[in-house]
Amino acid sequence: MVRIYQKSKYKGGHYVELLQSGEPFFSAVEKLIDDSRQFIHFHAYLIDEDETGNRIINALIRASLRGVRVYLLLDALGTRHLSKELIEKIEDSGILFRFFSPTFITKGFQLSLRLHAKVVLCDGEVAVIGGINFADRYHGTPGKREWLDFAVLIRGPECIHVLSVLKKFWNKRFIPKTELSRETVNKPRIYKEDIKLRVVQNNWYRNKIEILRSYRSAFKNSRDRMIILASYFLPGRNERRLLRNASLRGVDIKIMLAAESDMPVFKRATRFLYDFILRSNIKIYEYLPSNLHAKVAVVDGQWCTIGSYNLNHVSDYASIEVNVNILDNKFASELETLLHEILRNDCRQITIEEHQRASTLLSKVSGWFFYQIIRLLMKIMYQMTSKKKKSIQSGIK
């Protein structure tokens, strides 16, 4: 199990709090913003111009108006629907605002790296990292339950590393010197909880595949049990082989997936893998109350990862992702207990008999078709991003 953890890369001295989608998450983020004194880095894939999104944007505006230096970096594709009026309001408040990797559909299709990470860092002392976007559907509305997702709030030494990562995202070439992020944190506070963790990222362009390697190592070295929550589940051949091998050596594997997804085509492709998964003696559970958007894994009640990374090649090759790997028996066991409660109360298990009864010739053909289409698109994406990666690296040299 030591190989999973690479203990030398984990830092102790942290306080960690699990945050679940819904009002408690947004209250926690809003309070951190309101309590900030010096600077905020806010990086996100999606903020909707609805009650929840406006609530968080207004908190950032309040912070800027009281003198906090606010860096707001939003993915251009995920936030393409933001109105000009709101953007002007943000910029007029003094917030330093940029779109990450602008994509203009009117000028033709442009495949480029996406900022899929969701990270809020306040004063270099506390960070919130997870998979939760800033929109009503993650908060919940009357009559509609919030999408299931998770994040973690961390305090301690690793926040210095988080600041370094976010500064690299922000401080791109051609940015005015007055807008550069130059903040430093010299003496991180050590917390008595002493939780060991590591913030990891995936950024194919920059040779960062830390999250993918973490998952592969966990699958390879697991010994007893594993729970995986996956929103857009389409693992590659290597990951499927590692999961099957883990099951063959007696690891009890449970995978929680969405019963109905906001991306139906992707869900059909995922269902095409059900036969392989179930025949590998891996248990499948479908989450019923709302969409499942979580990206979480717990292994052997000792190690867990929470963040924005999906088990598919979009996260591997076309997105910037950030996760928190936590090495702590108490935290991992408590998370495992919570996930088991969700499995019992809010999910249905899909047995191989049920899956076979529900599988018609049409559903098998359509599943195969969508699986092949998505795989083809991912191959094209890999080839295009690989070429882009080479051009970036040659430019760096």
Higher pLDDT, 92 or 388: 92
Q: Which of 58-62, 122-126, 368-372 has the lowest mean pLDDT?
A: 368-372
Closest residue by Cα to residue 269 from 228, 300, 311: 311
Instruction: Quickly state the pLDDT bin for 99 (edges 50, 70, 90).
Output: very high
Q: Where in the chain is the domain with CATH 3.30.870.10?
A: 13-194, 203-374
Instruction: Quickly state the pLDDT bin for 174 (edges 50, 70, 90).
Output: low
Average pLDDT over every residue of 171-187: 84
Instruction: Quickly state the pLDDT bin for 286 (edges 50, 70, 90).
Output: very high
Fold of domain 13-194? Endonuclease; Chain A (3.30.870)
Instruction: Quickly state the pLDDT bin for 256 (edges 50, 70, 90).
Output: very high
pLDDT value of residue 396: 38
Instruction: Quickly state the pLDDT bin for 158 (edges 50, 70, 90).
Output: very high
Is the pLDDT score of 379 beyond 70?
Answer: no
Is the pLDDT score of 270 beyond 50?
Answer: yes
Instruction: Quickly state the pLDDT bin for 107 (edges 50, 70, 90).
Output: very low
Higher pLDDT, 373 or 306: 306
Is the pLDDT score of 53 beyond 90?
Answer: yes
pTM of the model: 0.92
Instruction: Quickly state the pLDDT bin for 106 (edges 50, 70, 90).
Output: very low
pLDDT value of residue 74: 97
Average pLDDT over every residue of 340-354: 96
Fold of domain 203-374? Endonuclease; Chain A (3.30.870)
Instruction: Quickly state the pLDDT bin for 3 (edges 50, 70, 90).
Output: low
Instruction: Quickly state the pLDDT bin for 105 (edges 50, 70, 90).
Output: very low
Instruction: Quickly state the pLDDT bin for 343 (edges 50, 70, 90).
Output: very high
